[in-house]
Structure 1
Amino acid sequence: MSLDFYRQPVDLSDPGTLGALFDSISSGPAACAKVVQGLLMHEHVAPAYGLALTDSQHAQAHIRSVSAMLESIVEHDPRPLTEARAVSARQIGVCRHFTLLHVAMLRRQGLPARARCGFGAYFQPGKFIDHWVTEYWNAPEKRWAMVDSQMDSVQRELFKLAFDPLDIPKGEFLVAGEAWARCRSGQADPANFGVLDMYGLWFIASNVIRDLAALNNREMLPWDGWGAMTPDDARIDLAFIDRLAALSREPDAHFAELRAIYRDDRRVAVPSVVFNHVLNRPEAA
């Protein structure tokens, strides 16, 4: 296990010159999650708060780095991050933004943390919906614990959560590699994995690649495409995704191989330019 690899903010999780903004936040996953919830608004859950977003607000969901997120937040409101913004004034993002900002805060505090891409079972009965959560190292219990930093009181009620989102129970969130393994073995139906009108094995395979990139500290947008991702089940390299899924299901046991395949295989590594499928254009990664 390489805890130090997940202890320092790097690349997209690096707050850059604005890192000192994190220093007033109380330590620990719960305190950081509360701050995140007071800063961000999920693009597709905004109606539950009575919000209708403008085009410029929707555009904020395409910000990739924590440093750019912070620049936007303090440009609109220079108060300390611990002071919750009005719901109408929060930075717009999706689950990945909540997770990445949470991870960055925890890393600033020296706590090993990483973003995981997969599927949540708690949004729609019978479905596993595309989602991101935080994993942090719970040292007293010597285990990785999962946190959904997006789930404030409004969303806990909205989605009728029957568990503590600060410690997601096994089975409520499946990392993409686990979802892939279940579908490949016939334990689950890939038609139940996805989001909006996009479901299927191809979607799971793409999330396996996104999760493996995140485990290498490259937490891309959920709609970024590159490498071996394909929207066609028939074009999936099943054996290759089987291998990636096995690595990402037990990343600490396979840490060296997980790092090597990301470094050496262009089908996995995030290139300098990715394709933003929402905006339908290539963009600098």
Structure 2
Amino acid sequence: MLDELTGDGHGLAEARPPDQRLACRCRNFTLLLLGPLRAKGIPARARYGFAAYVNAGHYEDHIVCEYWNASEERWQLVDAQLDEVWCQRLGIGFDVLDVPRDQFLAALNKTEMLSWDVWGAQPGPDQQLDADRLAFFDPARAVDP
């Protein structure tokens, strides 16, 4: 990813027009932040969970970076994917370099999710369950034909 980003001779901090950017997902942005933090000896980890701020009214699966802020003696969440444009479009009013704990719910029970983890049988958001699928998902509610 770094070769692709810097192959045009421009630095990482230099703004690029959309057609010259590398398309990535939250996991990629997190990894690109984790590397430099760890190289500097700063404890950092990827946190898989659900963000309340990506899609208003829903908790969307998302990956952010969490690093040890030694000066404040706390773990701090950073959403490296969101720039000023995204924050404005999503109506985010907090600092994405210090995501509030009530805006990101980390995976529970020491079980980290896979990126975009889904069940193969899971119905789509607008899909109605017929009797067979209802019986598969909830046998106690299944109706005999």
Do both share a fold (TM > 0.5)?
Answer: yes
Tell me whether 1:166 sits opposite 2:97 in the alignment: yes
Alignment partner, residue 90 of structure 1: 21
Following superposition, the deviation at residue 80 of structure 1 comes to 2.5
Q: Which has the higher strand share?
A: 2
Aligned to 1:79: 10
Match of 1:136 among 59, 64, 67: 67
Match for residue 209 of structure 1?
Answer: 113
Offset, 1:230: 4.1
Q: Percent identity?
A: 42
TM-score (norm 2): 0.73
Give the secondary-structure state (helix, strand or coil) at the position aligned to 1:177: coil
Q: Which runs of 4+ in 1 moved over 3 A?
A: 229-235
Q: With the length of structure 1 as denominator, give the TM-score of the two structures.
A: 0.39
Which residue, 150, 153, 156 being the options, matches 2:81? 150
Secondary structure of the residue aligned to 1:72 is helix
2:55 to 124, 143, 149: 124
1:61-115 per-residue CA deviation (whole Å, 9 max, x = no partner) reads xxxxxxxx1122233x122323232222011111111111011121222211111
Out of 99, 104, 128, the position equivalent to 2:30 is: 99
Q: What amino acid is the match of 2:15?
A: A
Q: Does structure 1 conserve the Cα–Cα contact (< 8 Å) formed by 2:44 and 2:66?
A: yes
Identify unmatched segments of 5+ residues in structure 2.
Answer: 123-135, 138-145
How many pairs does the alignment contain? 124
Which residue is 2:130 aligned to?
none
C-alpha separation in 1, matches of 2:14 and 2:86: 20
Q: Partner letter of residue 17 of structure 2?
A: A
